[in-house]
Amino acid sequence: MTSPAEPAPRAALITGASRGIGLAVARRLAAEGYALTLSARTPEPLEAAAAELAGPGTRVVAVPADAADPDALAALLARHEAEHGRLDALVLNAGMGFGSPIAETPLRRVDKHVALNFRGPFALVSAALPLLRRTAALDARGARIIALASLAGLMPEPDLAAYSATKAALVSLCESVCLEEGTRGVSATAICPGYVDTELAAWKTDEIPAEEMIRADDIAELAVALTRLSRHAAVPRLAVNRPGSLFQA
Ligand SMILES: NC(=O)c1ccc[n+]([C@@H]2O[C@H](COP(=O)([O-])OP(=O)(O)OC[C@H]3O[C@@H](n4cnc5c(N)ncnc54)[C@H](OP(=O)(O)O)[C@@H]3O)[C@@H](O)[C@H]2O)c1
* Coil/strand/helix, residue 128: helix
* Coil/strand/helix, residue 192: strand
Name the percent of the chain lying above pLDDT 90. Answer: 93
11-240 has CATH 3.40.50.720 classification = yes
pLDDT recorded at residue 244: 84
Q: Cα(120) to centroid of ligand 1, in Å?
A: 13
- What average pLDDT does this structure show over 111-122? 98
Q: Cα(142) to centroid of ligand 1, in Å?
A: 26
Residue 90 amino acid letter: L
User: DSSP labels for 55-123?
Assistant: BTTB-EEE----TT-HHHHHHHHHHHHHHHS--SEEEE-------B-GGG--HHHHHHHHIIIIIHHHH
Give 18-56 pLDDT, tens digit per residue.
999 999 999 999 999 999 999 999 999 999 999 999 999
Residue 200 amino acid letter: L
How many C-beta atoms surround the C-beta of residue 217 within 10 A? 15
Average pLDDT, the chain: 95
Q: Cα(132) to centroid of ligand 1, in Å?
A: 23
Higher pLDDT, 177 or 4: 177
Nearest atom (ligand 1) to Cα of 199: 19
Which one is catalytic: 34, 118, 163, 195?
163
Could you tell me how many residues make up the chain?
249
User: DSSP labels for 28-50?
Assistant: HHHHTT-EEEEE-S-HHHHHHHH
Nearest atom (ligand 1) to Cα of 45: 40
Cβ atoms of 186 and 229 within 8 Å: the answer is no
Residue boundaries of the structural domains of the chain: 11-240
How would residue 1 be classed by pLDDT, with cut points 50, 70 and 90?
Answer: very low
Residue nearest to atom 37 of ligand 1 (CA): 40
Is 163 among the catalytic positions?
Answer: yes
